[in-house]
Amino acid sequence: MQRCSTMIVRLFALGILLSLTSSVGFAQVNLENLNDSASYAVGVNFALAQLKPNLDQAKAQGIEFNVEVLIQAMRDVIAEDGLLINETAGQQVLVRWQQAHMVEMLQKNNKEAAKFFVENGSKPGVKVAANGMQYMVITEGSGTPPAATDSVVVKYRGTLLDGTVFDQTAEGETRTFYVSGLIQGWTQALQMMKPGAKWKVFLPSNLAYGQQGTQGIPPGAALVFDMELVAVKKP
């Protein structure tokens, strides 16, 4: 998966539209004829398909853009008016903004994760591995755990610390993976689980997607997995 947020990639495609810093008001329009209505409909379609989803996703990550500035930038581009920031400079602004935001988010997530693992590790039933992985055995299972060369059939649900689900198997379905082809925390946990076992696994970011994160997973994010090892397949 990509190492930067899909939202960030799409914002780059908007170019300068998100890079201005002054606030400008805009007037209410009236739809006086069919052409006006069609023009408005085009704007609605663009906003619903491109603009609003990106703004909503940004807001979910704690990012608030100045919508009035954004609209004014669009008006300037369409009118071919003088731009406060040209496209090349706008992309440079976005790079600096992204870097600053990533640092801020990383610091926040690292702080939250450190607090979580201190508290969670002292809870009844939670076991702590030497490398920081924490886990609870819900169902023991039986048989021989898989080796790194095996593939496994699993059911799982992955969440962020706030409970946001970023991935899961569909109800009644399973997925098959090579043990050695997974994030470090999964590879470690699976080789400790017996077929039929159900575990709740808590992974610090260094055993998951690291300080960069990936699509749907912020940088430095600790992850929680409900894992069921359904079966082991030998090569």
DSSP letters spanning 98-136: HHHHHHHHHHHHHHHHHHHHHHHTTSTT-EE-TTS-EEE
pLDDT of residue 130: 97
CA 7 to the chain's CA centroid: 9
Cα–Cα dist 113/43, whole Å: 42
pLDDT at residue 22 is higher than 50 = no
Instruction: Report, as an integer, the average pLDDT of 22-38.
Output: 72
Angle, vertex CA 14, rays to CA 60 and CA 37, nearest 5: 95
Domains in the chain, start-ordered, CATH in brackets? 6-103 (no CATH), 121-233 (3.10.50.40)
pLDDT exceeds 50 at position 11: no
The mean predicted confidence, pLDDT, of the chain is 86
> In the structure, what pLDDT confidence band is assigned to residue 17 with cuts at 50, 70 and 90?
very low
DSSP H helical segments within the chain, as ranges? Answer: 6-14, 34-46, 52-60, 67-78, 87-120, 184-190
- Provide the residue type at 94 as one letter: L
State the average pLDDT over residues 38-50: 86
- pTM: predicted TM-score of the whole model, two decimal places: 0.69
Please check the confidence at residue 81 and state whether its pLDDT lies above 60: yes
Give residue 168's pLDDT: 98
223: helix, strand or coil: strand
Confidence grade of residue 60 (pLDDT, cut at 50, 70, 90):
low
- For residue 197, is pLDDT > 90? yes
Q: What's the maximum distance between 2 C-alpha atoms anywhere in the chain?
A: 75
Reduced to 3 states (helix: H, G, I; strand: E, B; else coil), residue 42 is helix
| pLDDT of the residue at 4 | 42
Say which range, 86-95, 158-167, 169-178, 199-208, has the weakest mean pLDDT: 86-95
Looking at residue 50, its pLDDT comes to 81
Contact of 21 with 73, CB cutoff 8 Å: no
| Sequence-ordered list of residues with C-beta below 8 angstroms from that of 129, at least 6 positions apart, any chain | 135, 188
